[in-house]
């Protein structure tokens, strides 16, 4: 039992929201400064797309590795240890990004930043899920996710107002992270976690996800549910300038599209959190959002018949709103597993979702190759259709978790 009742605007929620703000600022900053930083580093225009995909893939691999390591630490050493360690690592790496002189340095520092970024959101959602009553878990998660997504909007405006000074953008992001460390001093671990340490069960044992078939499928479905989010961000939006060119749309600004998508994502995440609370169902909310997302993907590819930059910006916003399911699927991930594995699941699942982006990009590249579909737009559409179908199946097979009492443990075997 918790000795104190926490509200939706309590310190853990506020600190989690500010942390996710900085997290998303840094995570998406590379996509915003990609072209301006590449031009400064002397990358040829013809190589920017391939090098950009490579660096994003390395960043996502860092997130994957970091998600597993921070998740295990969150269950072994406490949720608070992750909140401190992760932000320190990615803040220092972000500052170092402002000093890079070569593409190789850039790649390695984005990988290290990915390692640090991996711990932020999952640890915050885990902690607030355990501290707050079940009726407020979804709303608190919505506040964290919604506040955090403003980080991309901030990154866009910092980049624009600085005269595209990409190095300054990285310095500002790292500085915000260091400043946030001081706010985290007053955050405590949850009573559920403190009690679980006294039980005779393994804490943060990652192999437990794979020594039981039912638990393994719970874990894999948690990953598959989130894949459509990063298909939209990592393919359709990050390379929206490539799609605009093939749609015959001139004067299209990819950083602006990314910023507008995240403006809509703010409202999408907020709406998903409150809708799941209103419907008292995570699953129904996910199905509704998949439907919205599918509609806007169809409209997006409909632009190949002709359109304007304004039309495409509006559709990017629609894609952002429809992909605003992070708050729901991460909360669902925390609710699906016992206290001794909860941080490992809630931190590693969203990062493995991000870590699947290199595989999504490889699938996309393979489908658009000469010996397959040999068409950029068709390959992107087929990739998206498969990912959304997998997400729908995963939601259908996952039990509802809204009313679940989180005071339980996972046994080994």
CATH number for the domain including 276? 1.20.1250.20
Residues 241-251: tens digit of each pLDDT: 999 999 998 88
In a domain, 6, yes or no: no
Residue 67 lies in a domain: yes
Tell me what the mean pLDDT of segment 140-160 comes to.
Answer: 81
Res 17: pLDDT: 85
**For range 395-405, the mean pLDDT:** 90
Whole-structure pTM value? 0.81
Q: Which of 188-197, 227-236, 243-252 has the lowest mean pLDDT?
A: 188-197
- So what's the pLDDT on residue 52? 87
pLDDT grade, residue 301 (50/70/90)? very high
Q: What is the pLDDT of residue 5?
A: 63
Report percent pLDDT > 70 for the chain: 95
Distance of CA 49 to the CA centre of its chain: 22
Which whole number is the average pLDDT over 24-36?
85
pLDDT of residue 48: 87
> Does residue 262 lie within any of the structural domains?
yes
Q: Average pLDDT of 317-321? A: 95
Residue 195 lies in a domain: no
To the nearest 10°, the Cα dihedral for 176, 179, 184, 185?
170
In a domain, 404, yes or no: no
Lowest mean pLDDT across 118-127, 203-212, 251-260, 346-355: 118-127
Residue partners of 25: CB distance under 8 A and separation at least 6: 151, 152, 154, 155, 173, 176
Total domains in the chain come to 1
Residue 412, domain member (yes or no): no
Q: Which domain holds residue 81?
A: 11-189+206-397
Residues 401-408 have a mean pLDDT of 84
Burial class (CB in 10 A: 0-12, 13-18, 19+), 74: buried
* pLDDT at residue 371 tops 50: yes
pLDDT of residue 287: 97
CA atoms of 118 and 23, how far apart (whole Å):
9
410 within some domain: no
Residue 200, domain member (yes or no) = no
């Amino acid at each position: 039992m918790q000795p104190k009742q926490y509200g939706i605007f309590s310190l853990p929620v506020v600190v989690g929201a500010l942390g996710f703000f900085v997290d998303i600022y840094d995570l998406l900053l590379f996509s915003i400064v990609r072209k301006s930083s590449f031009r400064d580093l002397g990358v040829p225009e013809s190589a920017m797309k391939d090098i950009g995909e490579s660096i994003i893939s390395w960043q996502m691999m860092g997130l994957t590795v970091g998600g597993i390591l921070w998740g295990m630490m969150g269950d072994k050493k406490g949720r608070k240890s992750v909140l401190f360690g992760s932000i320190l690592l990615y803040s220092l790496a972000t500052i170092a990004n402002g000093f890079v002189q070569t593409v190789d340095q850039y790649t390695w520092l984005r990988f290290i930043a990915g390692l640090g970024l991996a711990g932020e959101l999952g640890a915050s959602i885990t902690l607030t899920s355990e501290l707050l009553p079940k009726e407020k878990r979804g709303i608190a998660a919505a506040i964290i996710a919604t506040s955090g997504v403003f980080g991309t909007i901030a990154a866009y405006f910092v980049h624009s107002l600085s005269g595209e000074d990409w190095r300054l953008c990285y310095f500002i992001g790292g500085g915000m992270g260091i400043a946030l460390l001081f706010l985290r001093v007053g955050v405590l671990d949850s009573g559920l976690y403190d009690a679980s340490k006294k039980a005779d069960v393994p804490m943060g044992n990652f192999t437990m996800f794979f020594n039981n078939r039912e638990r393994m499928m719970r874990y894999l479905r948690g990953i598959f549910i989130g894949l459509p989010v990063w298909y939209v961000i990592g393919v359709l939006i990050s390379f929206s300038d490539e799609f605009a060119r093939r749609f015959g749309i001139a004067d299209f600004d990819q950083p602006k599209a990314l910023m507008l998508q995240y403006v809509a994502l703010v409202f999408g995440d907020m709406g998903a959190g409150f809708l799941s609370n209103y419907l008292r169902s995570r699953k129904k909310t996910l199905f509704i959002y998949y439907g919205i997302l599918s509609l806007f993907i169809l409209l997006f590819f409909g632009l190949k018949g002709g359109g304007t930059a304004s039309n495409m910006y509006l559709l990017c916003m629609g894609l952002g709103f429809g992909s605003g399911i992070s708050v729901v699927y991460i909360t669902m991930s925390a609710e699906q597993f016992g206290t001794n594995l909860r941080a490992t699941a809630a931190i590693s699942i969203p990062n493995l979702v991000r870590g699947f982006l290199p595989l999504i990009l490889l699938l996309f590249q393979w489908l658009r190759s000469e010996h397959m579909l040999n068409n950029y737009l068709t390959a992107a559409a087929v990739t998206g259709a498969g990912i959304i179908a997998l997400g729908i199946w995963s939601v259908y097979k996952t039990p509802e978790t809204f009313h679940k009492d989180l005071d339980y443990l996972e046994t080994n075997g």
